[in-house]
Structure formats: structure tokens, C-alpha cells
Chains A and B, each alone.
Chain A
């Protein structure tokens, strides 16, 4: 019987497999950052162990770095200690680190792909749940905890129980103005936040095939938001074209050999999945969240739902609680919701195409009075590229703030936060209570909706401008 892409990737990395024990998987690339690595390094030191493959380990500073004044000492002492600890650990164990201010610094899930370090057929892990982003290249990529970070450092392997497989198929063509972010938000709203629990998910069908690599990364990035262990898309010509010529991509005869191998990384026609979700691309329209988890979303053209209409008791209670936190009334058109902050950035939507899309909408317009708009590039390379295309001038001209690279307001570990009661339209991945700042209220949106919302001051799509 044929095998799925996920099964091929899993079996291609088995160091050991025995009944009654977890499989031992080899890890091709370990990405680390300042927040989830310090105790892992400390654990190594306490046990007198080293890093087995520093050449397969890459570090960056992203989670709590400031996005202004990056050459001044970090004001928050806790953030400063975490960043300084990462620097001394990387020096001690011989690991490449891209620190704040470096041309290669950026969000860990943005820099891997742009350096050509993320390639089809690899296993990639990181102490961050959005590691699934790298699955867009046909890699097996997932987030891990600090003990597992230490395990990978010491052994370059990970003991893991094999998850089941699931296909998410979206057939047909997306309408103009409908983006990959809308697709994944619609998938999550359909499946619920636990729908992918225990699965490695493959996104299939014409809608994903037609997406750029950056769009595919947005989709795979949010796999964890519906509980999936990993998300992936089979590599194709789009993948190869993106990779070719990048700093770590193979060259010459190795490139040809790599492409030949990568071409085999697809689900066999006679393979079966343990579960399948199907969606019609024509059903997807600009999508936004109204609640406090990524599954509480609805088409922008609809209204805030009435909790009493939820069939399942727990969904009803969750919706009531969410509306109370969000300060929303059932039945309010989503388009009538006004915001004070718009955030464009994060590992979900902080890449160059996202900034181009945002700039294309903003051009010739002004950010509405009373609205603060932050545009935070996902990496210093994205920043440089945007500036070479003049996008920064469009943002600044419109009245937005143009920042340095980092995770920023996605999780508010740095000073970029919402104040209590403030409401944002955010291109990030989580709308949990307090995620962007204590008491802050988040609506997840695509870059197009973020830009239109900034101009109008209420949730909007570019079609309304």
C-alpha cells in the first residue's frame, strides 16, 4: 500500500523503532531562541554533556527583542538576561547566532526559509509551537518543550510516538481578495481548536497548489491553532523555484539530485489518511475572529454570533465568555467593530509578500484618526527588501510605524503591547485573552483586512475602500 507524505518523512528519519517504545527520530535542523533554550543549556552543563551537532543548530533573538532602539541595552531586565544568556550559551557551545542588529536576525520561522535552511524532506524542530511553518516546504516540522530541546541538543534525535495522518483538501480557486490566512482561519473555524489533535496534517488540493511559498507558510504556521502536531504541503515547482539560489540551497549536481529526491516527496495515489477534511475554495471569503481562540472566527461579512445558537453546551459557554471578554454584542455586524490598533507582522504574516499586500492597500490612504498601526517585518532581510521597494515610505506616509524585526505584538513579550481594553486587528496567530497585553482584545485578520481596517478604523476588506 502507498504511503502518505508524512509517513515518508517519518520513516525516512527513523534511527530506531521497536515495539513498546517510542520511535527515535533524527532531527535535521534545530532552531533555538532566547526564551525556551536557557534551561536546556543549563541541563547540558549540569549533566556534563555537549551539543552533538552545533552545525545543525541555529539560534536567533526574536521573542522578546524590542523593535525600536535595537542598539541600546534592552530596558526590561528579564528580556535582557534571556538575550544575554543565549549569547553566552551559543558562544560556549559553538552555535551560530543571529543577534539583534545582524542582517540575518529575525523571527526563527522567517529566517530558516529565507536562508534556504528549510528544505523539503527535512525534520525541523524548535522550542516554539509555530515550527509547523516549515512544513510548507514538505518538511516534518513541529514545536517541542524545553526538555526535548535539551534532548535534541545532546543527541540530535527525539523519542516520539507516531501521530496519525490527516488530509485537509481545499479544491477550486480562491476568489480575488481571499488570502491563505482566510483559508486557514476558515479551516480552524470548521474543525475547532482541537480538531487536529494527534495528527500530522497534509494540506492538499488546487487552492494550496496555487499558493506562493509565503502563503503556504501562513497556512502551515497555524496548524497548531487547531491542535495538529505538524502541517505540511508536498513540494513542487513553486517550492524549488523559491529555494533555488538561496544561501544554503544545494548547487550544481547536488541541486539536481536534491530536486529528483524532493519530487518523490508526495503522497502516493493509493495511500490512505486516518482522517480527512474537505473544503470548497469558493466558500472561503475574508475571515476574521470574534472570540478568544482562533476557532472562534466568521466571514467578515457576517455578524457576531449569538451564543444561544451554538448546539454544543461547551461551545455556548465558551462563546458567552469570549463575547464578555471581547466586549461584543451578539448580532453586531463584524464590519461595525472599531479598533484602536492594527498590527501587521509575526511568523504568520510578517514576510515580504504580506508587507507588499499591506502597502498596496495603504498606498494613497491614511491610517484613520485614533488608530495606531504597527508594521513589524519578520526579519531584517524582509525589512531591507521592503525598504528597497519603497514600502517603508508608503507605511510612514500613511501614518503607520515602521519597526525593526521581531515577534513583537504577536505575544507582547517586548514593549509592543495592547493596553487593557484596547482592541486590535492583528495578522498574528493567537487571539487568547491577554495574549497581546493584559486585557487586550484581538481580532485575527489577513494583511489585506488589516490594511483596510487601519484606513477605515473598523474591520473592513479592501473591497470597501
Chain B
């Protein structure tokens, strides 16, 4: 997983609340066998049916920060929702509130989800709509979001912050201590089943 320290980029205003994971990525895309390449699936229904949808607007092209209304990521636990956002190019999602499972999935996969008070998110939405060139900085070291004229702290537990700063996914974390696994394997019962490997 890529390390996350400080990210600066332009932002997309998604003025919708309760954006559920079926909207983020429709179920039909879950039949794929790949882990990447879900960028076309992101918000597919809205992108296909709403010419004015923010991701269809030229002025927001290339943005890497998604700013959304409250309760982002509700519904099905599909991990694909996070993959689709990352594949599309988003590094950070900012919202007043996230659904628990989505937030857990995102932080495990290295997509930073940042919660700011609803009032502050409103100002950020106003500012990026007024000037799509607005650069937003998300500083994980300082736990701050900054854009011209504004500085706001956000909360993230120390363990998760450390994991993201170090770029460690769960697997990476476990692999830091393979010595323990080796030692456990030395003590396993001799009769336990093993299969032929090819």
C-alpha cells in the first residue's frame, strides 16, 4: 500500500447525502475477476444518465479529492466501492459522516476518509464550486485539511494514522512479524493434512 503523508489536489463537490455503495458501484460490476480497472464503474448510473453530474463536468476533471454530503458509503459492504474510488483517481473522500463498514474498508485499503463538521464541508463545497481550481491539502501528519483561507483539524485514531503513514495494509502488518508465524509452524502437529503443490 502506498504511504499517505500529505496530499494536495483539486476537489469535486458531490452535493448528495446517503450516497450508498450501490450508487458508488452497481452490483453488476461485482462479477468481475479483477481488483483494478473499476474506474468506469464508479457512479456509473449517475454518469450515464445525468449529463450535468459533477464527474461529467470538464472543470472538475483530474480532481483527486471527493467532497460529499453526510452518510457516504451506506448499504452493502462490497469492497469494490473503495476500489472504484481509488481506480478513478481519488486519494481522499471528505464528508460529515461515513457508514462504518465503508470507512473501515477505505482505511484498510489506503483511501483516506476524512470527517469534518457539516458547516465546514458546506464552505468547502461552496469554495470549490466557485473556483474549481481550488487546491485542497489533506495533511495526515498534522491531521489537518487546508485550503485558501481555511485550516481545520480532523480526528483519526493513532493506530490507523500510523498504518497509513507507513503504508501498511493488514497483510503488510502481519508480514512484519513472520518470525512468529515461522515459530508457530514449527510446533504444528505432524499429522495435519497437506496437499500436493505443483
Contacts and interface: CB of A to CB of B under 8 A. Distances in A.
A117 B193 contact: yes
A38 B35 CA distance: 8
Contact of A151 (B79, B170, B188): B170
A157 interface: yes
A83 to B, nearest CB: 10
A78 interface: yes
Nearest to A78: B31
Interface size class of A (residues with CB under 8 A): 35 or more
B189 interface: yes
Nearest to A154: B171
Interface in B124-171: 159, 169-171
Given A15-B180, A26-B184, A159 B191 contact: no
Given A39-B35, A46-B35, A96-B198, A159 B170 contact: yes
Nearest to B108: A147
A96 B191 contact: no
A122 B196 contact: no
A100 B184 CA distance: 35
A250 B191 contact: yes
B195 interface: yes
B181 A155 contact: yes
Contacts of A78: 31
Interface residues of B, number: 35
Chain B interface main SS type:
loop
Contacts of B105: 147
Interface in B20-43: 31-36
B33 A42 contact: yes
Nearest to A39: B35
B58 interface: no
Given A147-B108, A258-B189, A56 B194 contact: yes
A146 interface: yes
A91 B181 contact: no
Contact of B189 (A42, A94, A95, A261): A261
B52 interface: no
Interface string A138-166: 00000001110011001111010000000
A278 interface: no
Contacts of A46: 35-36
A121 B22 CA distance: 40
A55 interface: yes
A49 interface: yes
Contacts of A258: 189, 191
Nearest to A43: B35
Contacts of A254: 190-191
Given A46-B35, A91-B198, A29 B171 contact: no
Interface of B: 31-36, 77, 79, 105, 108-109, 159, 169-171, 173-175, 177-178, 180-181, 184-185, 188-198
